[in-house]
Amino acid sequence: MEKIQVEICLGTTCFVMGSSHLQELIEIIPKRYNDKVEVSGKPCLGLCSQDCEYSQAPYVKVNDDVVSQATVEKVLKVIEGKIRNNEK
Ligand code: FES
């Protein structure tokens, strides 16, 4: 089974809007889901410039799904949903 890819935006807009908290995910994810999920920090994912949606930052991508106004809890929920789907 392919690993779920989690990309945390560390670009300026997302950083200002709170993505520094999301860096916790870089520690949490390997501990919880080591064999199922791969996490990485990325420069601007290009989402903050679409439709002037600055207010929806910070962004995290879980595979092709965009999590806006991302928090650690929100991202973990999306990951767990995907793990459950993969196990069906
Ligand atoms: S800075 Fe995060 S999408 Fe642009």
Amino acid (1-letter code) at residue 37:
V
pLDDT averaged over every residue in the chain: 92
- What's the distance, Cα to Cα, between the start and end of the chain in Å? 12
Probe residue for ligand 1, chosen from 14, 51, 66, 69 as the CB with the greatest number of ligand atoms within 8 Å: 14
- Quickly tell me which residue has 């199922």 as its tokens: 36
Distance CA 81, CA 60 (A): 15
Contact 79, 38 (CB under 8 A): no
Ligand 1 centroid distance, CA of 87 (Å): 31
Ligand 1 centroid distance, CA of 19 (Å): 10
Residue 1 has pLDDT above 90, yes or no: no
Q: How is the chain split into domains, by residue range?
A: 4-87
CATH class label, 4-87: alpha beta
Structure confidence by residue, pLDDT tens digits, 50-86: 765 557 999 999 999 999 999 999 999 999 999 999 8
Residue 22 has pLDDT above 90, yes or no: yes
pTM of the model: 0.91
Nearest to 62 by CA among 86, 51, 52, 50: 86
Ligand 1 centroid distance, CA of 46 (Å): 5
